[in-house]
Amino acid sequence: MRHGRAIDLRSDTITQPTRAMREAMAWAEVGDDVFGDDPTVQRLEARVAALLGKEAAVFTPSGTMANQIAVRTHTEPGDEILLEGNAHITYYEAGGPAALAGVSCRCLNGLRGVFTATDVEAALRPPDQHFPPTKLVCLENTHNRGGGAIWPLARIREVADVARQHGLRLHLDGARLWNAAVATGLEERDYAEHFDSVSVCFSKGLGAPVGSALCGSREFILRARRFRKMLGGGMRQAGILAAGALYALEHQRSRLAEDHANARTLAEALAGLPGVELDPGSVQTNIVSFDVPAMPAKELAARLDQAGVRMLATGPHTVRAVTSLMVTAADMPKAADAIQTALRER
């Protein structure tokens, strides 16, 4: 086992609050949020809604809950939603759409998580008593299993136009929307304006310990609050958590560019290694996904762990590395060297 600090590239969910963030949380003004009495939560919700150009927002414990509340708020049991087959909502949320909203997922084939307006058109069926009514289209930006791919704004407009033509609502899983905005120079509201609801996460690249938010119209959020309570997400003195998220929004959004630069550095180093398949040009944000055809991904991850470098196997021969504020530029060549050694010593 390597001595010293581990280089943890498993996810940007492993980020820890800074000292300044902890101080903000310790001194947060709090109240009972279920009663609507927590002033720090109120400030966070107003700030997020303003950033996304929406009327209102609701603070939730997790991004999964925010997404599942959105699905339930937009639909009724027996409805159908459209989303890409590797989307977080259907891939990583424990069957929530079926269990919590009673809806079925009709999965589209996308390229790195990005599908087309034509894909949406092709998935729609004529009104018929045999078919579930399609109510909602969900997008994920950036796309986790797509290697942090960014949805092009023009493509979003095309999908949104088709959805509107057919009377469908749109939800954006924007857990890493902050990354997309920093990478493109666009505002978060530029993406959000095309959606009826948007979820965003504070506990990934922004570095807050807990929390997400769901944004939409006042009417939508009022209904969403009922489902948050139903799912156990109504918190009491939640301002302690909201203070961390507020600090993250105000102080740690712009630094996401550092994560993107570190991911590109790592990708460029890995692309030149024998036994690694990776196009460094595919790395748009903070996720590096690469293939190791000659070694099982789980074996490589285990070897790296022994060397003090932590990554996740996301497929039989696919490994994911995610940069965050917990790693530095100096860690990137060290991680690449560890991969080279692990592949050579097999």
pLDDT of residue 217: 98
Q: Is the Cα dihedral 73, 79, 84, 89 positive or negative?
A: positive
CATH for the stretch 7-14+255-344: 3.90.1150.10
CATH for the stretch 19-251: 3.40.640.10
Q: Is the Cα dihedral 18, 19, 20, 26 positive or negative?
A: positive
Domain boundaries in the chain?
7-14+255-344, 19-251
For the chain, the residue count is 346
Whether the predicted pLDDT of 2 surpasses 80: no
Mean pLDDT across 243-256: 97
Cβ-contact 231, 286 below 8 angstroms? no
The neighbouring-strand residues paired with 201 are 212
Mean pLDDT across 158-164: 98
Give the CA dihedral 99, 221, 248, 151, nearest 10 degrees. 70
Mean pLDDT across 311-340: 97
Question: Which residue has tokens 């550092």?
Answer: 258
How far apart CA 18 and CA 21 sit, in angstroms, is: 5
Mean pLDDT across 44-48: 98
For residue 41 the two structure tokens come to 């939560």
Q: Which helix (H) or strand (E) holds 24?
A: helix 19-26
Whether the predicted pLDDT of 212 surpasses 60: yes
Buried b (16+ CB within 10 A) or exposed e, 191-214: bbebbbbbbbbbbbbbbbbbbbbb
Share of the chain above pLDDT 90, in %: 97
How far apart CA 302 and CA 323 sit, in angstroms, is: 19
Count other C-beta atoms under 10 Å from residue 182's C-beta. 22
pLDDT of residue 346: 67
Task: Give the pLDDT band of residue 228 (cuts 50, 70, 90).
Answer: very high
Cβ-contact 104, 72 below 8 angstroms? no
Mean pLDDT across 162-188: 98
pLDDT of residue 83: 98
pLDDT of residue 1: 40
Mean pLDDT across 34-50: 97
Q: Is the Cα dihedral 322, 301, 84, 265 positive or negative?
A: positive
Mean pLDDT across 177-204: 98
Give the pairing type, strands 56-60 and 212-216. antiparallel
Whether the predicted pLDDT of 191 surpasses 50: yes
Whether the predicted pLDDT of 259 surpasses 90: yes
Q: Please enumerate in sequence order all residues whose Cβ is within 8 A of that of 322, keeping only pairs 6 or more positions apart, or say none.
A: 9, 10, 11, 12, 148, 263, 286, 287, 288
Whether the predicted pLDDT of 335 surpasses 80: yes
Mean pLDDT across 234-254: 97
For residue 288 the two structure tokens come to 């590096």
Task: Give the pLDDT band of residue 4 (cuts 50, 70, 90).
Answer: low
Give the amino acid at 17. Answer: P
Its pTM stands at 0.96
How far apart CA 144 and CA 112 sit, in angstroms, is: 9
pLDDT of residue 345: 79
Residue 148 burial class via C-beta count within 10 angstroms: exposed 0-12, middle 13-18, buried 19 and up = buried
Q: Do domains 7-14+255-344 and 19-251 have the same CATH topology?
A: no
Rounded mean pLDDT of the chain?
97
